[in-house]
Amino acid sequence: DTGVSQDPRHKITKRGQNVTFRCDPISEHNRLYWYRQTLGQGPEFLTYFQNEAQLEKSRLLSDRFSAERPKGSFSTLEIQRTEQGDSAMYLCASRPGGAYEQYFGPGTRLTVT
């Protein structure tokens, strides 16, 4: 049973560049979540998919952020025109329907220089 995987694990980019992260959830999990975690803080919810439908977006998800889950399997999170304030760990999690605990991936650490 493979867990949630994320790619890349680390990304360094210059301000103004676009970046894209990928998340592969546990295969039988139909719900997928993105969170952002800054240093010394708990994860903050960004957005959530049930199958391919994006059902909820946080106020934290500015219009520079977009997420997709085209076939209800893997998901991508894109940040356009990155800013230094986007530097954070981006976590992906998944869960099956009928259970409420979420299983997290290792995260993608983004550094914007």
Footprint on this chain of other proteins (rule: CB under 8 A): 3, 31, 33, 35, 40-46, 48, 55-56, 58, 91, 93, 100-107
Least Å distance between CB 38 and other proteins? 11
Q: Give the residue with the Cβ less far from other proteins, 17 or 111.
A: 111
Taking the least distance from each CB to other proteins, the nearer of 61 and 79 is 61
For residue 66, the cross-strand partners are 78
Which is nearer to other proteins, 28 or 101 (by Cβ)?
Answer: 101
Least spacing, CB of residue 22 vs other proteins, in Å: 16
N-to-C CA span, the chain:
37
Angstrom distances, CA of residue 16 to CA of 61, 68, 95, 106: 17, 21, 33, 25
As measured in angstroms, the least distance from the Cβ of 101 to other proteins is: 5
- Picking from 111, 95, 107, 96, the residue whose alpha carbon sits closest to that of residue 9 is 107
Q: Closest Cα to residue 95, out of 2, 4, 15, 1?
A: 4
CB of 17 to other proteins, least distance (A): 25
